[in-house]
């Protein structure tokens, strides 16, 4: 959260930790090319739109009744999707769904965090982990990363041993850097977390379908305190649906239901998500197109002489600018909106359609002559630059 001392609610008796902060959000400006919020740029195909209409119409006939409180059919189909796409068998009892992955994360923090408990994440990373932690009155710890944005395993294990957090967040692929986390790293941190308390370890795979690497979901086998969270916002192109889910030991699924609100998933939401799952193969073809475009952005930015962090997501982090906000503003003047996440010297761009990506690369080429770049740190132009560890300078600017 960012400082905002002039908030209109400052004279209200809100919780002390919320004072001087501002709500989560990203700039939404009216420009020709918007590549700042990691949305899937492709509209849902018409056959899927028609199927949604059919399923919602059927659900509408029963809106006088509460929806399926346990979302059994939806959880069954999500389990089938995970099993088919990861090769690891998952049953409905291992899956839970909520209104976006943020509500899933909130339920996990409400269940396993709270007053007197702490969570740790490795920043820069998805800012909502820290924000939801604070919103649930869970203490937050910022863990270390290497200068190439990978997790410093030895330092992370030491931090876990010292602070004994109740929840450990691992984001793979990471947002905003795009970097994937090695299986060995997850296993090392999981073992450290179990030795310390034991603790819950949450692997956030919101961008998992875009990765060059296999899902970490098979690590669930035999690990009762491991959770993998996913979303339909990205790969399924359904950001407006607000449907997130987790896979874990059935006991974890049972536990989070202690804090869920009654009938939290509407009948319309469940019907829409089920329709989308019927069209998985078509939607994943769009994912393959976006992966190709993502890789083209990486190559194009490097060809222009920029440092680019290797990406396993649907976005790319690039730099290094002496003044990243000036670079952001220069691109905006050319009609292209990207994201300034507060990572020193770097910006983040979402992979868009081929035409949007062409416009972005042309805008970058046009403004580079007016911007100061910092020296590259390596022959491949990847990784972080000189100076402080990224997590110590990172400020939360949303998704």
pLDDT at 19: 80
> Tens digit of pLDDT for each residue in 219-241?
999 999 999 999 999 999 999 99
Lowest mean pLDDT among 28-32, 89-93, 140-144, 284-288: 28-32
The answer, yes or no, to whether residue 381 has pLDDT greater than 50, is no
Domain 46-277, classified CATH 3.40.640.10, yes or no: yes
The answer, yes or no, to whether residue 153 has pLDDT greater than 60, is yes
Q: Among residues 107, 73, 89, which one has the least CA distance to residue 217? A: 89
**Six token digits for residue 213:** 């690497």
Is it true that 16-44+282-393 and 46-277 share their CATH fold? no
Contact 259, 232 (CB under 8 A): no
**Six token digits for residue 19:** 């004072």
User: How many residues appear in the chain?
Assistant: 399
Provide the pLDDT confidence category of residue 377 given band limits of 50, 70 and 90. Answer: low
CATH node for 16-44+282-393:
3.90.1150.10
Average pLDDT estimate for 241-267: 98
pTM comes to: 0.91
Average pLDDT estimate for 68-92: 98
**Six token digits for residue 105:** 């994360």
pLDDT at 100: 97
Average pLDDT estimate for 116-123: 98
Q: What is the mean pLDDT of the chain?
A: 92
**Six token digits for residue 195:** 């030795």
pLDDT at 375: 86
Average pLDDT estimate for 50-70: 98
Question: What is the dihedral sign for C-alpha 384, 340, 342, 172?
Answer: negative
Average pLDDT estimate for 203-222: 98
pLDDT more than 70, % of the chain: 92
> Tens digit of pLDDT for each residue in 312-357?
999 999 999 999 999 999 999 999 999 998 899 999 999 999 999 9
Neighbouring C-alpha atoms within 13 Å toward the C-beta of 268: 8
pLDDT at 22: 73
Q: Among residues 101, 75, 111, which one has the least CA distance to residue 251? A: 111
E strands in 290-383: 307-308, 315-319, 336-337, 346-350
> Tens digit of pLDDT for each residue in 140-152?
999 999 999 999 9
The answer, yes or no, to whether residue 67 has pLDDT greater than 80, is yes
Domain borders along the chain are 16-44+282-393, 46-277
Cis peptide preceding 186, ω within 30 of 0: no
The answer, yes or no, to whether residue 176 has pLDDT greater than 80, is yes
Whole-angstrom Cα distance, residue 73 to residue 253? 15
């Amino acid at each position: 959260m960012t400082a905002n001392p002039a908030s209109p609610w400052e004279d209200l008796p809100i919780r002390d930790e919320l004072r001087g902060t501002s709500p989560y959000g990203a700039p939404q400006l009216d420009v020709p090319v918007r590549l700042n919020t990691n949305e899937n740029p492709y509209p849902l195909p018409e056959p899927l739109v028609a199927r949604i209409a059919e399923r919602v119409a059927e659900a509408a006939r029963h809106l006088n009744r509460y929806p399926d409180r346990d979302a059994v059919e939806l959880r069954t189909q999500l389990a089938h999707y995970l099993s088919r796409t990861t090769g690891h068998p998952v049953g409905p009892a291992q899956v839970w769904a909520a209104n976006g992955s943020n509500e899933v994360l909130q339920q996990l923090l409400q269940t396993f965090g709270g007053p007197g408990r702490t969570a740790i994440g490795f920043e820069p990373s998805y800012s909502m982990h820290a924000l939801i932690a604070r919103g649930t009155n869970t203490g937050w710890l910022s863990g270390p990363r290497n200068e190439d944005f990978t997790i410093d395993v030895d330092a992370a294990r030491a931090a876990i041993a010292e602070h004994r957090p109740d929840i450990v967040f691992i984001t793979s692929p990471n947002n905003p850097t795009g970097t994937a986390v090695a299986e060995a790293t997850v296993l090392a941190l999981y073992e450290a977390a179990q030795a310390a308390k034991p603790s819950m370890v949450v692997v956030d795979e919101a961008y998992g379908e875009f990765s060059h690497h296999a899902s970490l979901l098979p690590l669930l086998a035999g690990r009762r305190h491991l959770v993998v969270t996913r979303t339909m916002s990205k790969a399924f192109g359904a950001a407006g649906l607000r449907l997130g889910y987790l896979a874990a030991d059935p006991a974890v699924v049972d536990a989070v239901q202690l804090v869920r609100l009654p009938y939290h998933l509407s009948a319309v939401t469940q019907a829409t998500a089920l329709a989308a799952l019927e069209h998985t193969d078509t939607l994943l073809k769009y994912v393959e197109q976006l992966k190709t475009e993502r890789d083209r952005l990486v190559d194009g930015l490097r060809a222009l002489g920029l440092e680019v962090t290797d990406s396993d997501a649907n976005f790319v982090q690039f730099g290094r600018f002496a003044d990243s906000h000036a670079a952001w503003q220069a691109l905006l003047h050319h009609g292209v909106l990207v994201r300034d996440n507060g990572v020193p010297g770097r910006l983040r761009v979402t992979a868009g359609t081929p035409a949007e990506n062409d416009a972005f690369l042309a805008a970058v080429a046009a403004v580079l002559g007016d911007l100061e770049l910092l020296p590259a740190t390596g022959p491949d132009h990847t990784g972080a630059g000189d100076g402080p560890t990224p997590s110590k300078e990172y400020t939360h600017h949303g998704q």
